[in-house]
């Protein structure tokens, strides 16, 4: 497992790294001293958890998370208690007040599942992700995204009345979405089965799925057979 400690104070950063190391849970612990460096480190190393101070040079902790396409679990580490409620809008699993004790740190990490790397890279349906498209941005729960549509190296995602584009391929998203909730209907689309309203036969053994919001998705012949097998149709 990998962790990143983001803290502008060198002494505080080194101390927290030692405390995290002492737990013996992480193989790699990376560090960042400001918001911009944190964004680079997180995108490069794809950690299982971020230990994140809020007051940082440049971008603050919340702005760091808003700059990410996908937000890993976060443990906020701060001397200020006024951000506690806001922190849980950002995929926070805990909020630690400085000075941090070893016991309190260990309890926070108990909330982080000890799973294989493959499983940890999966996005749970209740996980919240940050989406930016031009000047507009949203925090969206995975379970609220009903459709992913391939646009080359980009993917259009459908939630509520919004259809922003993200710089992620459909194949990449297929790897990290939960198999039981999301289904690859064809080369261009992944559907959230929670939003399926109607399933009808189409030509050549294919299925046509209509979502509750009206979008129609034609399932390829191969995937139609898979859909029937998985969902007992």
Residue-wise pLDDT for 127-186, tens only, equals: 888 888 877 889 899 999 999 998 876 899 999 999 999 878 787 888 889 888 999 999
Please say whether the beta carbons of 73 and 26 come within 8 A: no
Last residue of a domain, one of 120, 150, 165: 120
Same domain, 64 and 143: no
Across all residues in the chain, what is the average pLDDT? Answer: 87
Q: What pLDDT does residue 158 have?
A: 97
Same domain, 6 and 107: yes
Report the C-alpha gap between 103 and 105 in whole angstroms. Answer: 5
- pLDDT(207) > 80: yes
Same domain, 96 and 196: no
- 87 DSSP 8-state letter: H
- Structural domain count, the chain: 2
Q: Please list, in sequence order, all residues whose beta carbon lies within 8 angstroms of the beta carbon of residue 3, skipping any fewer than 6 positions away.
A: 20, 26, 28, 29, 30, 47, 48, 49, 50, 51
Same domain, 104 and 6: yes
Same domain, 83 and 160: no
Same domain, 171 and 76: no
Q: Is the pTM of this model over 0.75?
A: no
Q: What is the pLDDT of residues 67-109, one digit of tens each?
A: 876 677 899 998 888 877 777 667 688 999 999 999 999 999 8
Domain that holds residue 30: 2-120
Same domain, 90 and 196: no
Q: What pLDDT does residue 153 have?
A: 67
């Amino acid at each position: 497992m990998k962790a990143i400690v983001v803290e502008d104070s060198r002494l505080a950063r080194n101390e927290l790294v030692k405390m995290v190391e002492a737990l013996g849970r992480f193989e790699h612990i990376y560090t960042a001293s400001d918001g911009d460096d944190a964004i680079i480190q997180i995108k490069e190393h794809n950690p299982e958890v971020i230990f994140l101070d809020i007051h940082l040079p440049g971008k603050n902790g919340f702005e760091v998370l808003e700059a990410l396409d996908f937000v890993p679990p976060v443990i906020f580490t701060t001397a200020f208690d006024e951000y506690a409620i806001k922190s849980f809008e950002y995929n926070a699993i805990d909020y630690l007040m400085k000075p941090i004790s070893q016991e309190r740190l260990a309890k926070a990490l108990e909330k982080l599942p000890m799973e294989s790397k493959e499983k940890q890279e999966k996005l749970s349906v209740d996980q919240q992700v940050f989406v930016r498209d031009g000047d507009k941005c949203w925090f969206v729960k995975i379970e609220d995204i009903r459709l992913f549509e391939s646009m080359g190296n980009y993917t259009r995602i459908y939630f509520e009345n919004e259809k922003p584009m993200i710089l992620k391929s459909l194949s990449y998203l297929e790897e990290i979405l939960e198999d039981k909730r999301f289904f690859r209907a064809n080369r261009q689309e992944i559907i959230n089965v929670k939003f399926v309203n109607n399933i009808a036969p189409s030509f050549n053994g294919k299925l046509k799925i209509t979502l509750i919001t009206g979008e129609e998705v034609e399932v390829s012949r191969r995937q139609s057979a898979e859909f029937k097998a998985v969902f007992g149709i």
